[in-house]
Amino acid sequence: MTWLRSFEASARRQSFTAAGEELGLTQAAVSQHIKCLEETLGTALFRRLRRGVELTPEGGAYLPHVQAAFRSLASSTAELFGPRSGRIVTLRSPISFTSLWLAPRLPAFAATFPDTRLEITTIHVPADYVGEAEGFDIRFGIQPFAGRESYRLTFERLVPAAAPFLLRGLRDAAQWRRLPLLSVSGAREMWPDWFACAGLSPPPGRAFLVCDSFVVAFEAACAGAGVVLASRPLADAALADGRLVWLSEIELAGEAGHFITHRAGRALSPHEQSVLDWMRDEANG
């Protein structure tokens, strides 16, 4: 790195002496750095003149790459360790929560925090949380979460819903149970619990269309593929604007929900604390 700094300054100033003055080195030290660099690369980078130096074709070709590398290093250093580094807030979040709850609020976030950069990583399976990532995680489940401080954002309530045009050919409201049921794989498969809560038997012989995330099942329901057990409040906007309609007054509710979490005992930066407060206000608004 020292050799490259001497090379870049000498090429720019066209003088070993001027480069040394800029770098706080003697002319002899700069000359030695250039010699070592040339020997390592196996080619001459400068022509030594009576007054100053000039780049060889090889040196001229090399210079812009060295300068670009220095600019990139300076930019990365400022980004990670400079005054703006404290303005970066990282968030790992399930894709359904990110798409349906957070994304519609991002314009308001940008207006509230114009100097904060929010870096979002979407989570698809619980194993994606493995690691020592700092910042915030959005976790779905029931408190507590081992080793993490958590703050509730939602209580999940589940209600059957479908696209309104899917219901036009039905003779009565109860016939929706003959439509395809859209399901979410894994622990989020809650149709049997909803039918039990409603005092109903699951319709015999009805195939479940299984999706790997709620947002996929939600979009499929909006497209008319079947009935989704809509997770509120994630689906509230679609229920309010008519993309989906309620099919039952019975909601399956429990203690599960979404929480914003961070590593226990970790001191938050001022920007992180502001983002945490904003998300809690949005959830309670």
CATH code of the domain covering residue 163: 3.40.190.10
How many Cα neighbours within 13 Å face the side chain of 102? 25
Work out the number of other CB atoms within 10 angstroms of the CB of residue 101: 24
Q: How far apart are CA 129 and CA 107, in angstroms?
A: 27
Q: How far apart are CA 65 and CA 159, in angstroms?
A: 59
**When comparing pLDDT for 189 and 22, which is higher?**
22
pLDDT for 50 equals 87
Predicted confidence (pLDDT) at residue 153 exceeds the cutoff of 60? yes
Res. 206 pLDDT band, cuts 50 70 90 = low
Both 51 and 176 in one domain: the answer is no
pLDDT for 86 equals 55
Predicted confidence (pLDDT) at residue 209 exceeds the cutoff of 90? no
Count of structural domains within the chain = 3
Both 138 and 179 in one domain: the answer is no
Sign of CA dihedral 35, 37, 42, 46: negative
Structural domain span for residue 127:
85-155+257-284
Give the mean model confidence (pLDDT) for residues 122-137.
75
Name the percent of the chain lying above pLDDT 90: 67
Sign of CA dihedral 35, 41, 45, 48: positive
> Pick from 29, 52, 81: which residue ends a domain?
81
Predicted confidence (pLDDT) at residue 75 exceeds the cutoff of 80? no
Both 195 and 171 in one domain: the answer is yes
pLDDT for 1 equals 92
Mean model confidence pLDDT for the chain: 89
Strand order, beta sheet including 117-123: 117-123, 88-94, 136-141, 257-263, 148-152
pLDDT for 76 equals 77
pLDDT for 281 equals 96
Instruction: Give, in degrees to the nearest 5, the angle at Cα 125 between 269 and 262.
Output: 20
Both 130 and 264 in one domain: the answer is yes
Can you give the pTM of this predicted structure? Answer: 0.68
Please provide residue 165's backbone torsions phi and psi, each rounded to the nearest 5 degrees. -70, -15
For residues 95 and 215, the answer to whether their CB atoms sit within 8 Å is yes
Name the DSSP letter for residue 172.
S
